[in-house]
A and B are shown apart, each in its own frame.
Chain A
């Protein structure tokens, strides 16, 4: 049976260290040069919402390098209340961001 939800399938080429539903934390580290992980998410806990597949590393592509090996890219969901010190919106509000695997750490 063919799944109609490719993001939840896990063929070998797509699979990474994390699966949808896994709790993760964005690494809290400084970076020199181009990087797509925003500062306000660093060190924050979230949950993997989807696995997009493998993509060339933008941190290397930015310097005209091949960006290989390709990295697994995830959609990660964060509770707004975890991101901002004084979030005034409803408790269920969340934010989703695309984060590459090398920026994610498991929460055990």
Chain B
């Protein structure tokens, strides 16, 4: 996965990434696929990476009564705003991570420029230390 440099060596099963043709989907939203033919469900479990646990923690903290930066409903709405291809090929916490980041911008907590500058800084730090940093970024 490699979202977090420190987790690079951990062995983890990769969830399947595939796009599905939404036959007969009519006016459904991208996530609203109950009853469509999508083949068997992948029920395999995988260990949570550190970045996944951190993403979970960030969501819980940002929706508490002290901060109220986001609600579960806003989080759902942001996840549902993915395009079809991105929705299908991203994992559970990749969807969460994008949502938390975008809601921080939507709610004027951080700017997109601040986040991108920090990402570049962290990537450079890992590169300088000789660690492999993922080239992949989470689309906005």
Closest to A84 in B: B35
**Secondary structure at chain B's binding surface: helix, strand, loop or mixed?**
loop
Task: Given A30-B27, A39-B28, answer yes or no on A63-B34 (Cβ-Cβ < 8 Å).
Answer: no
A62 touches B32 (CB 8 A): no
Q: Tell whether B86 is near chain A: CB-to-CB under 8 Å.
A: no
A83:B35 contact, CB within 8 angstroms: yes
**What total of chain B residues lie within 8 Å of the partner, measured CB to CB?**
14
Choose among A38, A58, A83 the residue that contacts B73 (Cβ–Cβ < 8 A).
A58
Interface residues of A, count at CB 8 A: 17
Between A59, A61, A67, A84, the greatest number of chain B beta carbons within 10 A of the residue's beta carbon is seen for A61
**Chain A residue with Cβ nearest B69:** A64
CA distance A39 to B34 in the complex (A): 7
B71 touches which of A33, A36, A64, A83 (Cβ 8 Å) = A64
B18-34 Cβ-contact flags toward A at 8 Å (1 or 0)? 00000000111100101
Known: A38-B34, A61-B74. 6 other contacts (CB 8 A): A38-B32, A39-B28, A58-B76, A59-B73, A62-B73, A67-B73
6 example contacts (A-B, Cβ-Cβ < 8 A) are as follows: A30-B27, A33-B77, A39-B27, A39-B28, A39-B32, A84-B35
Chain A residues within CB distance 8 Å of chain B: 30, 33-36, 38-40, 58-59, 61-64, 67, 83-84
